[in-house]
Structure 1
Amino acid sequence: MSETETMSAPDQTPDQAEAKPERRLNMIEAINDALNISMQRDENVVVMGEDVGYFGGVFRCTAGLQEKHGKNRVFDTPISECGIIAVAVGMGAYGLRPVPEIQFADYIYPGLDQLISEAARLRYRSAAEYIAPMTVRSPFGGGIFGGQTHSQSPEAIFAHVSGLKTVIPATPYDAKGLLISAIEDNDPVIFFEPKRIYNGPFSGYYDKPVQPWKKFDQSVVPEGYYKIPLGKARLATEGEQVTILAYGTMVHVVEAVCKEKGIEADVLDLRTIVPLDIEAIEASVKKTGRCLIVHEATRTAGFGAELSALVTERCFYHLEAPVERVTGFDTPYPHSLEWAYFPGPIRIGEALDKILAE
């Protein structure tokens, strides 16, 4: 089997050996299903956060869980992100597997000290006597006109911190399998959920917004328990002309641009940026000789810079053109102009034309 075929193969674990009934779920429903299954399998899994209990979360990801598992395992917290994260660290050290929700990624900053100084270092500093098996879920990115305090993409901050893992799914199938893996992981995981695609792939990929709660195409998601290993990329589309590295919402955007322009690209959905599937990236870039990186976050010191450096270090003599990046702008996040801020067909198309012309 070739390297490309290996990347394209469906993820299988012993728990997936037998065929499972399938349903069409959006990402919200898939996340809810993953939380429910994890709580059924392990009584130490607890869900906590602002409005996650009776209300079911601002995006309804935890709807019905308190009724199923009780108020001691699904409970509301004060509006204190620092406190939420700190309590989760203590729970993990004590033997629980907390899944705190931070209502928007923009709100996570008060909890950075607890995440960076405590959660990320606990296993190392205690010589593995204590661990922090916590999964911090949070909606991130734009798409709902949330403005500067509800739309940020801070993934690069967490990718920089040794001891943290950072996961960003792009499909409901991946969201469920990756979340189950994250909850069972013994290290702290930041699980960012792209709210622009919470309810499925969107129409109007580029210049016109779509109400985020309106349903479009959904994804086939198996019933029951399955896992997707952290650190394994997904080959979303296969082609020989160029490799495109993306994650979250941008996977769908670049797929649409390539289809529109008739470009045959290896679109690699990274799924997790830490750990990173550098082997899949290297194999694809060496095959195509060209690389485009697309993410929604601001350009300077964004995770695309790290990807560009890694590709250049490992694939320099195979490159037929310089590595290109298409990202958000180095500005405060705009409110009414957020659809101009997103990487869209014009900027992505220009970058692809430039790479392919070399």
Structure 2
Amino acid sequence: MINVDLQRLIQTLDAETRSDLERSAERCVDRGANEVLVEDLMLGLLERPRGLLVRALEDVRISAGELSVNLQRRAESCASRNPTFAPELVQWLQDALLVANLELGRSQVGQAALVLALLLNPLRYVDRPYQALLSKLNVDRLKDFVLSQQVQPTEAQTVASGDFLLERFTHNLTQQAREGQLDPVLCRDGEIRQMVDILVRRRKNNPIVVGEAGVGKTAIVEGLALRIAAGEVPSVLEGVELLSLDMGLLQAGAGMKGEFERRLKGVIEGVRTSPKPIILFIDEAHTLIGAGNSAGGGDAANLLKPALARGELRTIAATTWAEYKNILRRTLPWHGASSQCDCTSRLSMRR
């Protein structure tokens, strides 16, 4: 499970959902347990008279009482009066936030996002006794109903959701440089200048750094971040934020079909709507292909192509010569929008 700031996650809940979570904690304390479970929050959703979970159950003629009976848990023998959230519950809240951002276009998590996240992948959160009941619910009809009832998100909400996804799936190299977290990059002035020359072009301004493992491809990008932080770049790059895409976080928990692509689309939208110009660094860029396929999609590269073509997304990609020749040159979206940088063992670069 991805580590998150739990307090910040709770702040993304709307007032009603936060109240449901508080009642779930009270229910946990009442039974003397030490963890607030997924079942506690589900019982809270069932208590809403005309809530979405109740509506979805009624749609397939299942009574809320039947599910409620299956949700009851044996009281745990613990006298703790300060219960914590179970890992499965935190995962559910995280996934609900992604559903709210990417599926519903909302910046806050409400019952709709919670119920849809639960029904999209119940095996992730709940035990077998009531998986069979949840599998009978029609998630597509419920989603259509939710979308028909909601108003279009405001521009502020879209920006807020994009900001969250950028913070979750990227690392800000420019900020790390300002805070002194990056080591100085020595003897690479020529290579960094060449990368700057590519970035300031009008066309083919997305560098691909190609070289064998360990020769220092990432160090050159960190050197660029240091120069941006110090203001030692042309005016067109001043104020740019250089973000490194964390492929591990992007793939973690994305086993559901299309989930990887939804996350990547959210990152692209975050870059597009950011008030500050952003350049996205994608290390081991060839893994985008495998990641898309393993997550049940395969369209990850196609999401990048139009954004790069329209100039809405600026990237620096890094890969090895073998992967560049076998995969990137033919498949990934930088073809026609990029300039190749040869990063040999001596770290010479050519356009």
Both proteins in one fold, TM over 0.5:
no
In terms of fraction of residues, the more strand-rich structure is: 1
In terms of fraction of residues, the more helix-rich structure is: 2
Q: Greater CA radius of gyration, 1 or 2?
A: 2
Q: TM-score, normalised by structure 2?
A: 0.29
Q: TM-score, normalised by structure 1?
A: 0.29
